[in-house]
Amino acid sequence: MNNTYSFLILLSLFILGCSPNVFEEQKVTKKIDSLDLNIFSKSGDKKYSITSPSSIYDAINNKFQFKKTTINIFHLGETKYIINSDESTLSDNNKLIELRGNVKLKTLNQDDDYLYADNFIWNLDDTNYLLTGNVRYENKNVILTSGKAKMGPDNIIEFFNPVKYIIKDNNNENKYETNSENAYYDINKESLSFKARDKRVRSKIYF
């Protein structure tokens, strides 16, 4: 009987000891359904918006976790890019966005231009977007693939070594393909250039 009472006392102490932690965890994390979040610059311009059907906010780390994310990036009041992914996080006082899984970026200034990757990182203190893992850019003219790429605000995508590219013909079929150490695609000018390790341009193709 004494053993039974001792067990019950220990069990009660265990439950009482754990309860505050459970309540505390519920206070610092909050689940949000159908989130529509808009982030503005100090001057009042909309920088980007995030929509997600399911998200969690961590109050201690000031961090959002999103599922099935759609992000709109704005420039001069208009949508410049639309990005979709399986999941994403927003941290560092809303200045660091990381997307993971089936990342798909659509440019709105060109038709049928898509950029795919496993991961997408954007630090708002930096004007460049970093993409890693199975990076692929495709439009009506060309397909470029690489393990890593960087896109700047000037719409120039830098593909890191090694790069594979395919140029399409008028029937949207593959014309030829080759490998390059470094490749740069200018979305606005629809031009593809290649650079050697000494940064000299070896060739440039216009479409």
pLDDT in tens, 94-108: 889 999 999 999 988
E-strand ranges in 41-188 read 46-58, 63-75, 78-91, 96-107, 114-123, 129-138, 142-151, 156-159, 163-168, 174-180, 183-186
Record the tokens describing residue 73, joined without a space. 């990036």
pLDDT band for 165, please (50, 70, 90 cuts). confident
What pLDDT score was predicted for residue 69?
Answer: 95
pTM attached to this predicted model: 0.77
16 has pLDDT over 70: no
Facing residues of 156 across strands?
186
Q: Which of 187, 199, 38, 16 is nearest to 106 (CA)?
A: 187
User: Looking at residue 121, what is its pLDDT?
Assistant: 96
Interatomic CA distance for residues 120 and 100, integer angstroms: 7
pLDDT exceeds cutoff 90 at 199: no
Whether 87 and 75 have beta carbons less than 8 Å apart is answered as no
- β-bridge partners, 78: 75
Nearest to 108 by CA among 128, 81, 84: 81
Contact assessment for residue 81 and residue 97, using Cβ atoms and an 8 Å cutoff: no
- C-alpha distances (whole Å) from 121 to each of 128, 129, 130, 157 are 9, 6, 5, 14
Which residue type sits at 198?
D
Q: Looking at residues 149-155, what average pLDDT do you find? A: 90
Residue 137 identity (one-letter amino acid): Y
For residues 96 and 112, which has the higher predicted lDDT (pLDDT)? Answer: 96
Res 94: pLDDT:
86
State the Cα–Cα distance between residues 108 and 82, nearest whole angstrom: 8
How high is the mean pLDDT of the chain?
80
What tokens were used for 55?
A: 């998200």
Q: Any residues with CB less than 8 A from the CB of 107 and at least 6 apart, and which?
A: 80, 81, 113, 114, 115, 155, 187
Residue 204: closest CA among 160, 169, 167: 167
Task: Output 113 or 116, whichever has higher pLDDT.
Answer: 116
The amino acid occupying position 171 is: N
Q: Please state, as a whole number, how many other Cβ atoms lie within 10 Å of the Cβ of residue 148.
A: 16
* 2-13 residue pLDDT tens: 444 443 333 333
* pLDDT at residue 138, as a whole number: 92
pLDDT per position as a tens digit, 42-98:
888 898 999 999 999 998 888 999 999 999 999 888 898 999 999 999 999 888 999
